Structure 1
Amino acid sequence: MKHQLDNAIKIIKENGYKYTKKREEILLFLIEENRYVGAIEVFDFMNKQYQGISYDTIYRNLRDFTKMDLLEETELMGEKKFRFHCDVSSNHDHSHHHHHFICTSCGWTKEINLCPMDFFSEQLPDCKIESHRFEILGKCQKCLKK
């Protein structure tokens, strides 16, 4: 966890942003949660420690972290959700290609080390695929038991 945080702070500085304790706390929260969370969850957590912090400040930091590729972003039930990027490394190389199962109830996430793009590439031989996004949505075992 410390390694992930240290690398994230380094990337923040490399992108011309200042280190702040609040940014560190946001990142730590996301690292510890290890799931997709909404901005309101991050706001609620931060507001307990920093009374009066604005929702806009939280959301702006989440967007900035996403642009720096520190966070992954998805949309669940019409709401943007964020999670700490699985592959933040010291050289910021996201070479481990994978996808996720995401619980639509709690946001729990599991890596899926399989990509269906080979199939789609075969189906589109005269096209150039520039990007893709693949997520499996459902209920995790814990939420199914509730």
Structure 2
Amino acid sequence: MNVEQAMDTLKKEGYKTTGKREQLVKIFANEKRYLTAKEALIKLQQTYPRVSFDTVYRNVSLFVDMNILEETELDGERWYRYRCATSKHHHHVICVECGKTKQIEACPMDMLSPQTNGEFQIIDHKFEIYGLCYVCQP
């Protein structure tokens, strides 16, 4: 999904396509890492100095609901990144210091699914590995 497609998604769902929303989508589209809502706020305030944290947080939550952004939790705080362009099933390794991500193709469900012995119908899962990227390692 590119910025134009993200804005079209919002429009099709009946949401206004404001300049602030478009700039916020661009901020995430230009990053290759997870950002907190506060980091997104600081970047958005470069263009819109009076924008509030509540506005950013509400829009980021909307973008997650619209499948424009992905969400994870690190140390009790929510972090967001632009949804991966690939529709191929994958997971991520995430740096807990800077938010940088790397896709991994392996899926632990390949090993775990047979262990359910048909007792559960698995409908979804999320698997993330947290660590330090080479830049953030001591």
- Tell me the TM-score normalised to structure 1 length: 0.89
Over the matched positions of the two proteins, sequence identity in percent amounts to 43
- Structure 1 counterpart of 2:108: 116
In the alignment, structure 1 residue 135 sits paired with structure 2 residue 128: yes
Show the 5 A alignment for 1:23-38. Answer: 23-38=21-36
The corresponding residue for 1:41 is 39
C-alpha deviations, 1:1-46, integer Å up to 9, x for none? xx71111111111111111111111111111112110000011111
Structure-1 separation of matches of 2:19 and 2:51: 13
Q: Distance in 2 between matches of 1:17 and 1:112?
A: 34
For the aligned residues, what is the CA RMSD? 1.3
Q: Shift of the alpha carbon at 1:130? A: 1.8
Of 4, 14, 17, which residue of structure 1 is paired with 2:15?
Answer: 17
**Separation of aligned partners in 2, 1:26 and 1:63:** 12
Name stretches of at least 5 consecutive residues in structure 1 with no aligned partner: 88-93
Name the CA distance, whole Å, in 1 between partners of 2:33 and 2:69: 11
Distance 2:127 2:83 in 1: 15
Partner of 2:80: 82
TM-score (norm 2): 0.94
Q: Which has the higher helix share?
A: 1
Q: List runs of 5+ in structure 2 lacking aligned partners.
A: none
Q: CA deviation at 1:95?
A: 3.3
